[in-house]
Structure 1
Amino acid sequence: MTQQIALEGKQAARKTLELTENIAQKYAHKDNVLEEVRDWLGRFIKTASEGDLHILTLWIAHTYLLPSLGQSPRLLIESPVPGSGKSTVLDHINRLGNAAMQAAVISSPALIARTLSVAPRTILIDEAEKSLTMNTDVGKEVFAVINAGYREGATRPVLTPLKDGGWETEEHPLFAAVAMAGNSPKLPEDTRQRCIRILLLPDREGTVETSRWRVIEDDALALGAKVAEWALSVQDAVAKDIPDLPKGLTGRSAEVWEPMLVVARAAGGKWEERCLKLIAEHLEDIQTDAEAGLENLPRHVMLLKDIRDAWPEGCGFWPTTDLLAGIKRTSPTQWTSEHKYGDLTPHGLSRVLTKQFNIRPERPGIGDRRRGYYRHSFESAWASTLRPTHPLEVDEPAEVDGST
């Protein structure tokens, strides 16, 4: 009996040794801590693609480098159905990221500012579809803080009580990393434009491990400390790195992806190649959405686009009545009585083009004396606003009706 127990003990020890060696081999990336982070996340999180794991890894690493990067893309963690592991992702970021804090409910924008008064932190917001809403004044202010805080230097005035019973105003910094998880949360467009999105899928087949924190807590914290140590060793190089951006990566897209590219370059190995692939996929998605008409464009930008698309080839001057007939023919649901704003009139067209793009109707000197628009008046607005390789940057949507 004793011999049997001893034999079983030796077998168990051998299995334990083999398991330890396998784990060590799996995470043997002494030259690249980000590989260890990616492998760790892949054990517990099922993403829609490998690229989502790369995004999550780079984003976690960037939380330690905010002062060197100067800006921080928001991380949006989404899933098509509940139970896909969004809270699990936040739990891992909480252990692996820099100075993370989980904010189940944000009752006041001032609360965010006060938590950031000492140094940038990582704010984790779960169930964003419930906790973040534009339906209240507080919600609108919270979104304003989230949007402003993606770049270093933004502040918010906060009233602070004095010992004598009075109040004083202090400027508190807003710069922080923010991760939001939810089931298709309804975020304002300007917030979405500042986000990098990862998609999770439910693990019906049991391909990932359960995050048993009683067992893995210490290992997760140790890995987070290792990321912090790595970030400290590269922070000066990160601050000086100004990479050449891929063609087409401009505007808001550049602000979102440049920090990830800088982190990837600092990590070495395959990380720069992986990040460039993610950027190429991002630009391709934008182009595909544009071609499919899935862009969420403000109405006055849609007007500019429809004019460009309908403009006759070889036509230098287009009379107003003909121009209106052209865009109503190609997009009747937008510019005719079918739309809630009604039929677009010459006066309404002129007001919008003048106010938004400084494009004014003119009367030709000879021939047809009807007022209209010269093609060259639109070319600058078309080139700067409708470039198909990056998302459009318009902060305030303008309403276009038929009479104003």
Structure 2
Amino acid sequence: MPNTPDPATAPTKAVWPAVAVPGQPGAPHSIPEAAGAEPKASPSRPASAAIGPRTQGDQVLADLAAQIERYVVLPSPEAVTAVTLWVAATHLQTVWQHAPRLAVVGPAKRCGKSRLLDVITETVHDPLITVNASAAAIFRSIGEADPPTLLVDEVDTIFGSAKVAEKNEELRGLLNAGFQKSRYTLRVAGPNHEVVRFHTFAMAALAGIGDLPDTIMDRSVVMRMRRRRNGEKVSEFRAFRDTPALHAVRDQLAAWLRPRGKEAIGLMPVPMPVEDRAADTWEPLVIVADLAGGDWPERARTACRAMTAHEAALDQDNSLHTRILVDIRRVFAACDNAAALPTRTLLAMLNRDEEAPWAGLGTQGVCPRRLQILLKPYDINSSTRRFPDGTQAKGFTRAQFMDAWDRYCPPEAPPEPSGA
């Protein structure tokens, strides 16, 4: 009789599941566009980065990043890294001292904001999603032992205009307070009118058109979404079909991170590319990257540097108080860093810059009174001075600005080489 192979030892052909779920037999490291398709290299992770054995954390983060990129076109590889690490960090919320917000904003409709929130909802820890809930309903839903992840879509209906935002100051205060652990809101409740302390600490993702209030943006990892170009393709998201794969990644994140809470508490992310509030916001993401190993620590710090620098540049452009300092520094530099300049010279050179906002502030551009108002927060005032040509006039010294330039302005760019 011919030898019959033993079924227990006979080689078997791998069968792809209908939905490629990480961890199932035959599933690739990065989930493909469709069942049976060849895995594609992710734009956010070069193919060479996958060479060599992966840790559990490295693998599950790679799977999560692949799922996000399957449905959403994010503005940069750094943005993919940031979203991936933010989602993972929600599974260790009780460990963190700060709960970073994820601000998913865009200039118009159809930029992928809601689609990104769909994917996030199925992968974060204990999602609590709402469109227009009251602050009271939200803080009554947040517990101390295991806070949910707050997800708010169409947030522009809450903060979109000054009049509407004024009515929602309580919610803005709640989102600001919930950034840091042990910040409570107090309410009088019950038949005995007792003071009750409600927890506010919870990570939150907020999606909408236009920027959020400055105090929330300052506590956020900011995703500036854009419409897809012609040729940029993503898979359609269908909850019934696609949720199982996302839940599989979510469960793997929890299985990897939950046992590492004590380890995460003891980690100090060194080096940290930023300081102060930005460091508070990015620290949970960088710690998760350090736990994962592989190339994630480097990617996390690169994303942190690039994205915070981008927001700082936008803040400089949007805030007249900061912009005036930067432009006055340029005026002094153009005047060979003179020890002092007359106010009229300073104003003339500011209003002459066609790309600056000063010429449009009035019929004649920025005036002496408006200049004093802009400089008042820095305690910089003009006074009558004698200048080298023997004239006396109102003016400023360069020394008056040195402290403010050092504190509030980005470092001066080095001069370009003469052959540039």
Residue 359 of structure 1: CA displacement? 2.2
Q: 1:15 to 1:208 in 2, by over 3 A?
A: farther
2:398 is matched with 375
> Which of 250, 257, 266 does residue 224 from structure 1 map onto?
250
Q: 1:307 to 1:34 in 2, by over 3 A?
A: same
Q: Give me the CA root mean square deviation.
A: 3.6
Distance, in Å, in 1 between the alignment partners of 2:400 and 2:30 is 61
1:172 aligns with 2:203: no
Q: What SS does structure 2 have at the residue aligned with 1:381?
A: helix
Residue 335 of structure 1: CA displacement? 4.8
Q: What SS does structure 1 have at the residue aligned with 2:168?
A: helix
1:157 is matched with 186
Distance, in Å, in 1 between the alignment partners of 2:231 and 2:346 is 57
> Which of 47, 53, 67 does residue 40 from structure 1 map onto?
67
Distance, in Å, in 2 between the alignment partners of 1:318 and 1:158 is 56
Q: 1:289 to 1:84 in 2, by over 3 A?
A: closer
In the TM superposition, 1:100-249 aligns within 5 A as 100-106=127-133, 108-118=134-144, 119-134=146-161, 135-136=163-164, 137-160=166-189, 162-163=190-191, 166-182=192-208, 184-198=209-223, 199=225, 208-245=234-271, 249=274
In the TM superposition, 1:3-152 aligns within 5 A as 16=15, 21-23=25-27, 26=30, 31-32=56-57, 33-78=60-105, 82=109, 85-106=112-133, 108-118=134-144, 119-134=146-161, 135-136=163-164, 137-152=166-181
1:274 is matched with 299
Q: 1:306 to 1:148 in 2, by over 3 A?
A: same
Distance, in Å, in 1 between the alignment partners of 2:283 and 2:14 is 45
Residue 287 of structure 1: CA displacement? 7.5
Moved more, 38-47 or 233-242: 38-47
1:296 aligns with 2:318: yes
Q: Deviations over 1:138-165 (max 9, x none)?
A: 32332232233222233222332x23xx
Residue 56 of structure 1: CA displacement? 2.0
CA contact (8 A) 1:76 1:197 kept: yes
Distance, in Å, in 2 between the alignment partners of 1:373 and 1:84 is 46
CA contact (8 A) 2:188 2:196 kept: yes
Moved more, 74-83 or 137-146: 74-83
Q: What SS does structure 2 have at the residue aligned with 1:197?
A: strand
Distance, in Å, in 2 between the alignment partners of 1:14 and 1:209 is 28
CA contact (8 A) 2:122 2:246 kept: yes
Question: Unaligned stretches of 5+ in structure 1?
Answer: 1-12, 390-404
Q: 1:321 to 1:225 in 2, by over 3 A?
A: same
Report which of the two has the higher share of helix: 1
2:8 is matched with none
Aligned-partner residue type, residue 22 of structure 1: G
Distance, in Å, in 1 between the alignment partners of 2:89 and 2:330 is 41
1:307 aligns with 2:293: no
Residue 385 of structure 1: CA displacement? 0.6
CA contact (8 A) 2:107 2:210 kept: no
Q: 1:251 to 1:100 in 2, by over 3 A?
A: same
Distance, in Å, in 1 between the alignment partners of 2:84 and 2:374 is 44
What TM-score, normalized by structure 1, do the two folds share? 0.75
May I ask how many residue pairs the two structures share in their alignment? 365
2:347 is matched with 324
Q: Deviations over 1:303-345 (max 9, x none)?
A: 3233222122241122334433443344797556x52497655
Aligned-partner residue type, residue 382 of structure 1: W
1:6 is matched with none
Q: 1:300 to 1:30 in 2, by over 3 A?
A: closer
Distance, in Å, in 2 between the alignment partners of 1:83 and 1:345 is 41
Q: What SS does structure 1 have at the residue aligned with 2:114?
A: helix
Aligned-partner residue type, residue 300 of structure 1: H
Q: What SS does structure 2 have at the residue aligned with 1:151?
A: coil
Aligned-partner residue type, residue 329 of structure 2: R
What TM-score, normalized by structure 2, do the two folds share? 0.73
Distance, in Å, in 2 between the alignment partners of 1:332 and 1:207 is 36
CA contact (8 A) 1:77 1:200 kept: no
Residue 380 of structure 1: CA displacement? 0.6
Aligned-partner residue type, residue 375 of structure 1: R
Q: 1:202 to 1:145 in 2, by over 3 A?
A: same
Residue 300 of structure 1: CA displacement? 2.9
1:259 is matched with 284
Distance, in Å, in 2 between the alignment partners of 1:379 and 1:84 is 42
CA contact (8 A) 1:48 1:201 kept: no
1:385 is matched with 408
CA contact (8 A) 2:106 2:210 kept: no
